[in-house]
Amino acid sequence: TKKCRVRPTVSDESDFIDQLGCDRNDTFKVVSIFGNTGDGKSYTLNHTFFGGYEVFKTSPNQSSCTLGVWCSLNLQHKAVIIDTEGLLGSSSNENQ
């Protein structure tokens, strides 16, 4: 399992593929999650796809940890895992 994640900004498709470290000719499933802030989206992805390793940042409270969209590659499942910012939540990091 690859335990790195894509920076919040990518310039194009090639940059995205390079950051994930995958082969351009390989095929992958895409798994994404969305829900309200504090529902445990990042925690769920970490435990489901990465054996509990904190690939996606988590918090013990209901404040937003994930800003925007983050991606990571899980080679075992041949999947690109996408974590998203919470819905309906207020964040002190707006517009970042």
User: Contact at 8 Å (CB) between 87 and 94?
Assistant: no
Sequence spans of domains, the chain? 13-84
* Residue 82, pLDDT above cutoff 70: yes
Q: Which pLDDT score, from 0 to 100, does residue 50 have? A: 93
Per-residue b or e along 56-68, where b marks 16 or more CB atoms closer than 10 Å to that residue's CB: bebeeeeebbbbe
Name the pairing type of β-strands 29-32 and 69-74: unpaired
pLDDT digits 0-9 by tens, 5-58? 555 678 888 888 888 888 889 899 999 998 888 888 999 999 999 999 988 888
pTM greater than 0.85: no
Q: Kindly report the length of the chain.
A: 96
CB atoms within 10 A of CB 72: 22
pLDDT digits 0-9 by tens, 59-76? 776 666 677 788 888 988
Of the chain, the end-to-end C-alpha distance in Å amounts to 29
